[in-house]
Structure 1
């Protein structure tokens, strides 16, 4: 038995406090007209645009108000083409960065967005290389700055799907932890649990490998000591640094290894209800852990159970912890972070059959450490309400 794995990530990563100030000089190396994709808060995008004007680089700002829809990406792509931009920048949370990556990919390629989407589209491969994309995260959760896909909501199909290609990794990721200092507690909590879910699901994935395991162990350790402090004191720069690092490591992990049942449900649930992705992860993660552990015990898959034992020791800091202790720790953390429940978003048992059916067909479910039946998937939803 040998060690076999592949690993790819963004071409260049700059991780440094204050590194946002270096961006204008870095852009000058990439192109002459910039398309800036940002969220509702445009302060940083506007600041960057002013800096670019001072060095004779034109820019266009495009706002994404929530998690991107197919129509958002189509509008952004049309505008990027019309303005002849040759560099795309995503500055903000995962929604802004995912949108930037999608627009960078589609702008030089012919056809419609649906030609390239998974699940609801044709899943065609990109024929032309994407425009250079620079990712600048202002949250610590998605790890989108180092991944090769964009998650996009189809309001027509009530589901979230991916535009995915090995060509879509950002050309440059600028991770400046100081940009996350202004995140409010509720956003710190939701994005932080998203990062934890990425690391945890890839660590126990049936497709995990020793290299990704190294990233996951490091990331989970940092979150175990830093998420709650960052939630309680947003100005705790050390905690913010650890969370930014963990988020990036989680992105690297999920780009190489499939996730699991949490993300299997997250796509359809986020498509059917106006619930933030991080909140979905927080609501589902404890129950998914519990059901997976029980299913592994029933099927006597000892080696996979040992993975849950190890992550329990990492999260709790207790060398005697076992699998169930990890699930308890996560449940208690979610409670401390005051994350709303699924029922707060009007999710009821009536939607369970549809959610279960859609989750079973999701790409992420293929990475779950054990195959779950309909009854077990329903049990996850019941426990999570």
Structure 2
């Protein structure tokens, strides 16, 4: 076995009720707080206790280059020395990006991949505390921030170890109020982010351990969390699935689901998790088909069979039964196909060609051709 690196935040705090620890965490990190939050800042403010932020940034949708630029400008003007991000993946990515830009005195396009200059983030970020309120992206433990660049029709990342949060605080109770559609899309994203690193050629024993645990917990809990949002056990399992998926993807990379989803998300206005969910089973089928045809001795085929066993809970499950489980789960959670969220067949070729160049494709277990990717898009539509 070759060696490996493992990048995680300095501290990870997990457990029901841990959000109550937030206010006491802040004084050693900084005194002038930027609060990044979702549509309702009042909910997040209540978690800060007696801490009064010097600036508040609301992130109502997907984070954009312009939005992060404006938030960074406001934070600089306010003399912010610590960022607290409380919300879904968009909020957490905004908070991490702003913290990095504050620490480096730079602009998002200086560091953004694909559409920016791609300059490495040279200096440490301002401390960032990431508090997820959905179980999905795992952004509290990832070393990147995904931003939409609408003028380029794509989403791209600022990627650096400096984007790791100083503290990831995960309290499953904060997800109890997630509506079913958010639970479904974010939960399927979490499951995807355990599956793709598990079959990645860059997997290692540490990522295998967390990804397998995430797959097992997510498979048993996702439908329960969707159908019974008040189920605390299911919410805790999904929070762990998301956390473990974030650690796995940060260290073993993603694959074609996210390679395609990033381009689709830059083309149409659709929730990232729902796009991933629509793509998941077709990508697994395409990968297995390509592996059997081109690399029949690849260990990734055994990995896909292990995924099927983890998802179904059956030791004799086949790859095909794992794919069937994915399809049945996506259907049960009422996830719309890509056509229903606005992706037109005429856009498929451009999406496939752009996705083939995506950095996420580096973690795919086999190289997919443009024709393979077109087949995935047709199957997901």
Range with bigger deviation, 176-185 or 288-297: 288-297
Quick one: which of 375, 379, 382 aligns to 2:375?
379
- Give the whole-Å Cα distance in 2 for the aligned partners of 1:44 and 1:28: 21
Alpha-carbon distance, 1:211 to partner: 1.8
Alpha-carbon distance, 1:235 to partner: 0.4
- Give the whole-Å Cα distance in 1 for the aligned partners of 2:69 and 2:224: 40
SS at match of 1:255: helix
Match of 1:358 in 2: 354
User: Is residue 341 from structure 1 mapped to residue 337 from structure 2 by the alignment?
Assistant: yes
Quick one: which of 211, 230, 246 aligns to 1:251?
246
SS at match of 2:252: coil
Q: 1:27 to 1:348 in 2, by over 3 A?
A: same
Match of 2:313 in 1: 317
Q: Give runs of aligned pairs for residues 102-121 of structure 1, distance below 5 A.
A: 102-121=97-116
Range with bigger deviation, 338-347 or 196-205: 338-347
Alpha-carbon distance, 1:113 to partner: 1.6
- Give the whole-Å Cα distance in 1 for the aligned partners of 2:30 and 2:290: 53
8 Å contact from structure 2 (residues 143, 161) kept in 1: yes
Q: Which runs of 5+ in 1 are unaligned?
A: none
- Give the whole-Å Cα distance in 2 for the aligned partners of 1:45 and 1:241: 20
Instruction: Please provide the CA RMSD for this pair.
Output: 1.1
- Give the whole-Å Cα distance in 2 for the aligned partners of 1:128 and 1:306: 41
- Give the whole-Å Cα distance in 2 for the aligned partners of 1:195 and 1:364: 16
Q: 1:29 to 1:111 in 2, by over 3 A?
A: closer
Match of 2:43 in 1: 44
User: Is residue 151 from structure 1 mapped to residue 146 from structure 2 by the alignment?
Assistant: yes
- Give the whole-Å Cα distance in 1 for the aligned partners of 2:347 and 2:307: 32
Per the normalisation by structure 1, the TM-score is: 0.97
Alpha-carbon distance, 1:41 to partner: 2.3
Match of 2:325 in 1: 329
User: Is residue 213 from structure 1 mapped to residue 208 from structure 2 by the alignment?
Assistant: yes
Runs of 4+ in 1 over 3 A off after TM superposition: none
Alpha-carbon distance, 1:210 to partner: 1.9
- Give the whole-Å Cα distance in 2 for the aligned partners of 1:165 and 1:157: 22
Match of 2:181 in 1: 186
Q: Deviations over 1:133-162 (max 9, x none)?
A: 000000000000001100000011010000
SS at match of 1:361: coil
Alpha-carbon distance, 1:346 to partner: 1.8
Alpha-carbon distance, 1:49 to partner: 4.9
